[in-house]
Amino acid sequence: MAECSRRWARCFLQIKTRHGGACGQNTFLQVNIPGGRPFSSFSARVLWRFRWIFLPAGAGGAFAGYSKYDSYCERKLCASGLEVAHHVAGDWQVATYQMAPTRLISRTWGRINELELPGWLRKPVLSLYIWAFNVDMADVEEGDLRRYQNLGEFFRRPLRLNSRPISTHHSVVSPADGRVLHFGRVRNNEVEQVKGVLYSLGHFLGPIDQVGCCEDQECDSPSAVTQENLVRNAGNDLFHCVVYLAPGDYHRFHSPVNWRVHHRRHFPGSLMSVSPGVARWIKGLFCLNERVVLLGEWEHGFFSFTAVGATNVGSIKIYFDTDLETNKPRYMKGSSLNFSYSPEAEEPGIELKKGEDLGEFNLGSTIVVIFEAPKDFTFSLDRGQKVRFGEALGTF
């Protein structure tokens, strides 16, 4: 490696000397690298003009190395039983991340996913994906990989009928396969996306006048939403649970309870990653990303179900709402698109049964449920636990 570096250094020195410091002359120059093949002055000029690329590349490599070392130190401290404070991104870091063309990348990835694969290529490509993301194929309805015409069909693969029994002894079941990032009570009008990283309940759900929970109050801003005016029944409290769907998980989601959906709110936004590491790093990540919020009620009062988009997951589909279109090329920052399933007070809205098909992601993302329940409601979970669709989240 050292000898190779010396050869390239001598090469650049020869180029600069023989061109008099100017590499733009239209002369044909043969530069011989000791022990290598000769190349023309055109190649030399290209290399010389890109000489500064080594500076950002080196800086990027140094930053990546530092990040890996910092993660290694954090894991060592966690293994020793010490509490580690999470590093939260500054405003400039979040703004820089949002400048990345993640929406365009997601639309492009979506089109690639829908390209039909040749029959001979389907099994090798999908087998590689199964290996890379540790996909569990035991409960899949169609086990023959050659029957999936493209990657999109495989991502949205259905399960075998009755392969996931729905828990009947518990009030709330998992809406999807995934990992539990956080759960608990909503406190001080804030929700935890992961331990110690909070976001505003009001900014996540939007203005309360559209939620329909406080018709007698004046609510002109997102901050008007509070847990007090969402809770409708005395003796109840507000709870939440966050389930992260990894790329290898089953990508459809289902209704976690018996409830009625009265309102849909679509928030266009960024499509940053929602992996656990990024969720710990960016405060309010779920409020910044594109999301579809379904608002309604169940037997104990208020209930909401939110599908949060992410990088390569711009497409969020709700089965009963064919008008919903996510990840559009253009949108107004901070806007929301609202639709009422019960425009008149006497109309019932959309009724969903526990475990009923609700929608799907493309690749993987996050689901957040926020709901009202009696104060003795208890989650039967551990933080970081893997759950499968139909398994119990909690009960009274």
Determine which helix (DSSP H) or strand (DSSP E) holds 316, and give its type and residue range.
strand 316-318
Indicate which residue of 106, 177, 249, 273 is catalytic: 177
How far is 328 from 103, CA to CA, in rounded Å? Answer: 8
Establish whether 67 is a catalytic residue.
no
What secondary structure does DSSP assign to 230-243, as a single string?
Answer: H--STTEEEEEEEE
Establish whether 177 is a catalytic residue.
yes
Determine which helix (DSSP H) or strand (DSSP E) holds 372, and give its type and residue range.
strand 366-374
Indicate which residue of 182, 240, 251, 254 is catalytic: 254
Residue 103, CA distances (Å) to 108, 246, 286, 328 in order: 9, 19, 16, 8
Establish whether 71 is a catalytic residue.
no
Other C-beta atoms closer than 10 Å to the C-beta of 367 total: 23
Angle between helices 2-18 and 41-49 (to 10 degrees): 110
Indicate the SS3 state at residue 340.
strand
Indicate which residue of 41, 255, 273, 365 is catalytic: 365
Under DSSP, the state recorded for 222 is G
How far is 84 from 69, CA to CA, in rounded Å? Answer: 15
Residue 115, CA distances (Å) to 71, 309, 361 in order: 38, 22, 17
Other C-beta atoms closer than 10 Å to the C-beta of 79 total: 8
How far is 393 from 379, CA to CA, in rounded Å? Answer: 6
The catalytic residues are: 177, 254, 365
